[in-house]
């Protein structure tokens, strides 16, 4: 939507969090709370955003990135109206201004888009989002007239006994015409029990000036859930997890146990993929179709093709091709590119390496700083010795090489195509094509050694 800007209030200390970290920087599924709000504002069409900071302002500013984001400082917290005043230079009188809070991470762009649409279709000067709740304790109440028209918002501490019985509450989400907001902010005062400047009072000032104010009741009040404590942070995380998991299931992904599956907001999963219990999928992970992940696997910023099986293992910042199997108990470290139809077996670690199509690393191996070709076989106990105590070096293993059990390849070294490395060898020099390389001491048999030892020990 055009002609829309957003102000996000994020100046509060959040003392109930009992944390050294600013409240809005606490994370839900590895994403800062305020980032969810920023994404929601942008997705409904707000190209320019102003974040009002206060407590640990520099830390908050440093943690927020992205185009179109500016900041305003609220050095003293004197209420929500005062916070918006601090963003006065950002307010464009010819545009609509959306007001959001940095501690409401469950807000969604679709909901905000509907709010903007209603606000404009009804030609309201200001529109507030309300919700009906069973226990309105502590919330500001929406007061309407006999015809259901909006009259005012009364904060809980200032409400009369009758007003406190009202179950329609203010979510704190607003949209204003910029001209109306600027005029109302100029008329605010702090004549209330808290001595603060309430943004809610702007609505009454707009009504008195002849403007129209609307209240849109939300279908789902949980979307406006505010986080003020660690307990509420956990509650919000549970709600977010349920939302994300439901979306994936509705899109054709099987989650064997949704309550024990943890998927970050930006993860993508293809149809007919099965996620088994205990999996944690983080960051920008992308999983193709017909994969089977888990149980108890962790993927961080991974990219997987189709038909991948990834069992009880960990993968980070790497790529895996189609129909490859990984695990159990494998560790894919950053900067790996693993091809198609590869087998990465149990207790195998791969780091900063490429592994060609059809290669097999069945078990108990370390493949670090290595360029392995196609259809290589690494025997049990294969170790790429990449560190000389000062520097890391690379190993090259070309196509169709057979590496026997308990082999050390001491980098920098190249094993040419089709070569065989005998079990137990420590290779320190390049190996030519199609040869058998043996690098181990000749076996000796010492006859009578046991009897001599027993006589000596007696």
The catalytic site residues sit at 363
Structure tokens at 153: 């918002």
The CA angle 175-25-17, to the nearest 5 degrees, is 100
Residues in CB range of 55: below 8 A, 6 or more apart = 11, 12, 13, 14, 22, 77
Q: CA–CA separation, 434 vs 402, rounded Å?
A: 10
Query: What angle, 0 to 180 degrees and rounded to 10, lies between the N-to-C axes of helices 33-43 and 109-121?
Result: 40
354 in helix, strand or coil?
strand
Q: CA–CA separation, 371 vs 418, rounded Å?
A: 15
Q: Where are the beta strands (DSSP E) in 288-400?
A: 292-293, 298-300, 303-304, 309-310, 314-316, 319-320, 325-326, 331-332, 337-338, 343-351, 354-355, 360-368, 370-372, 377-378, 383-385, 395-397
Bridging pattern class, strands 4-10 and 96-101: parallel
Bridging pattern class, strands 31-32 and 325-326: unpaired
Q: CA–CA separation, 16 vs 342, rounded Å?
A: 50
| Long-range Cβ contacts of 314-323 (<8 Å, 24+ apart) | 318/350, 321/357, 322/288
Ramachandran area for residue 207 (φ above 0: left; ψ -120 to 50: alpha; else beta): alpha
- How far CA 139 is from CA of 215, 233, 425, 433, in Å, comes to 16, 19, 73, 77
Q: CA–CA separation, 321 vs 374, rounded Å?
A: 13
**Nearest-10 Cα torsion for 353, 356, 362, 367:** -20
Please check whether residue 381 is in contact with residue 402, taking contact to mean a CB–CB distance below 8 angstroms: no
HSE, side-chain direction, 13 A CA sphere, residue 393: 16
Taking the chain, what is the end-to-end CA distance rounded to the nearest angstrom? 95
The CA angle 273-348-434, to the nearest 5 degrees, is 110
């Amino acid at each position: 939507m055009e002609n829309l800007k957003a102000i996000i209030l994020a100046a509060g200390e959040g003392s109930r969090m009992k944390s050294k970290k600013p409240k809005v920087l606490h994370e839900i599924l590895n994403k800062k709370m305020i980032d969810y709000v920023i994404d929601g504002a942008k997705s409904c069409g707000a190209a320019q955003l102003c974040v009002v900071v206060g407590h640990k302002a520099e830390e908050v500013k440093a943690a927020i990135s992205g185009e179109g984001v500016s900041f305003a400082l609220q050095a003293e917290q004197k209420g929500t109206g005062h916070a918006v005043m601090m963003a006065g230079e950002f307010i464009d009188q010819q545009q609509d201004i959306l007001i959001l809070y940095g501690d409401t991470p469950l807000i969604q762009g679709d909901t905000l888009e509907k709010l903007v649409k209603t606000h404009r279709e009804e030609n309201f000067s200001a529109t507030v989002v309300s919700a009906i709740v069973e226990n309105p304790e502590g919330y500001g109440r929406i007061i309407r007239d006999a015809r259901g028209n909006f009259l005012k918002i009364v904060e809980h501490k200032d409400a009369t006994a009758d007003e406190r019985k009202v179950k329609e509450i203010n979510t704190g989400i607003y949209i204003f015409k910029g001209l109306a907001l600027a005029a109302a902010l100029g008329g605010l005062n702090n004549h209330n029990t808290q001595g603060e400047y309430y943004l809610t009072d702007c609505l009454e000032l707009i009504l008195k000036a002849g403007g129209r104010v609307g209240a849109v009741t939300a279908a789902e009040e949980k979307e406006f859930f505010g986080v003020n404590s660690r307990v509420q942070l956990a509650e919000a995380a549970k709600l977010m997890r349920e939302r994300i998991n439901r979306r994936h299931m509705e899109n054709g992904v099987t989650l064997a146990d949704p309550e024990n599956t943890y998927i970050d907001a930006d993860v993508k999963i293809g149809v007919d993929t099965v996620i088994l219990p205990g999996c944690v999928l983080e960051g920008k992970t992308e999983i193709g179709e017909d994969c089977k992940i888990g149980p108890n696997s962790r993927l961080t910023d991974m990219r997987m093709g189709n038909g991948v099986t990834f069992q009880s293992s960990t993968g980070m910042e790497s790529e895996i091709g189609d129909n490859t199997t990984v695990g159990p108990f494998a560790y894919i470290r950053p900067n790996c590119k693993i091809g198609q139809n590869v087998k990465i077996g149990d207790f195998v670690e791969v780091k900063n390496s490429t592994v060609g199509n059809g290669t097999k690393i069945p078990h108990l191996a370390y493949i670090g700083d290595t360029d392995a070709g196609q259809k290589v076989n690494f025997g049990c106990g294969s170790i790429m010795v990449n560190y000389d105590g000062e520097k890391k070096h690379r190993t090259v293993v070309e196509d169709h090489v057979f590496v026997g059990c308990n082999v050390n390849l001491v980098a920098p070294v190249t094993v040419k195509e089709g070569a065989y490395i005998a079990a137990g060898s420590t290779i320190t020099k390049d190996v030519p094509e199609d040869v058998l390389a043996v690098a181990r001491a000749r076996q000796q048999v010492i006859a009578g050694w046991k009897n001599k030892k027993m006589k000596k020990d007696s």
